[in-house]
């Protein structure tokens, strides 16, 4: 029996890798900004709608998992068309901005820099969600909670910038 020269993983492994890649962005951002989260962030005046600090980690963990599954579904269903490819490139771009926000806001201790990055992130998430819906409806739907949370995070960032 001829052996394939192309090495492939089973679909479930690909899905797990996609989720782990997204979770890694969160872990990296968390690791790189943990000092500011403990020392600088508590000193800021925050809007009244700021959630308790313990909520952020579980919410982001779930959102990164949903993002990974969505990306896997687009990857799995990809064709040679530019729509699938564009959706995945946009996904990668928004993932980079996602990680960059933590470094801009917490690492640089700059609400205004964070606001600039999260505004770009929000636009990329809207664009990515639209493209995911066009490629595979369920993949787009999986990004909707992420878009809602980034919108909420944007409002928090604005509030912190205005209050400090």
Summarize pLDDT for 121-141 with one digit per residue, the tens.
999 999 999 999 999 999 999
> Is residue 82 in some structural domain?
yes
> Is residue 95 in some structural domain?
yes
> Is residue 104 in some structural domain?
yes
> Is residue 3 in some structural domain?
no
**Measured distance CA(134)–CA(74) in Å, rounded:** 10
> Alpha carbon of 120 to those of 95, 117, 123, 130, 154: distances in Å?
12, 5, 5, 16, 10
Full residue range of the structural domain in which residue 132 is found: 11-43+53-163
Q: Report the number of distinct structural domains present in the chain.
A: 1
pLDDT of residue 79: 67
pLDDT of residue 8: 78
The sign of the dihedral angle between the CA atoms of 140, 145, 159, 112 is negative
> Is residue 30 in some structural domain?
yes
pLDDT of residue 11 exceeding 90, the answer is no
Q: What is the mean pLDDT of the chain?
A: 92
> Is residue 76 in some structural domain?
yes
pTM of the predicted model as reported, rounded to 2 decimal places? 0.90
Exposure class string for 45-56: b at 16+ Cβ within 10 A, else e: eeeeeeeeeeee
> Is residue 2 in some structural domain?
no
Summarize pLDDT for 68-121 with one digit per residue, the tens.
999 999 998 776 678 899 999 999 999 999 999 999 999 999 999 999 999 999
CATH of the domain at 120: 1.20.1260.100
């Amino acid at each position: 029996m001829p052996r394939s020269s192309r090495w492939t993983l089973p679909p479930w492994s690909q899905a797990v890798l996609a989720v782990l890649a997204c979770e890694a962005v969160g872990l990296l951002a968390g690791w790189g900004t943990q000092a500011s989260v403990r020392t600088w962030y508590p000193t800021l005046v925050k809007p009244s709608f700021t959630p308790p600090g313990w909520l952020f980690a579980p919410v982001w963990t779930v959102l990164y998992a949903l993002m990974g599954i969505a990306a896997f579904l687009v990857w799995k269903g990809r064709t040679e068309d530019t729509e699938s490819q564009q959706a995945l490139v946009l996904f990668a771009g928004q993932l980079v901005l996602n990680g960059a926000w933590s470094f801009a806001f917490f690492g640089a201790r700059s609400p205004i820099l964070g606001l600039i990055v999260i505004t770009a992130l929000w636009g990329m998430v809207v664009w990515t969600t639209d493209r995911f819906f066009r490629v595979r409806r369920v993949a787009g739907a999986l990004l909707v909670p992420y878009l809602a949370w980034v919108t909420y995070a944007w409002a928090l960032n604005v509030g912190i910038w205005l209050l400090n």
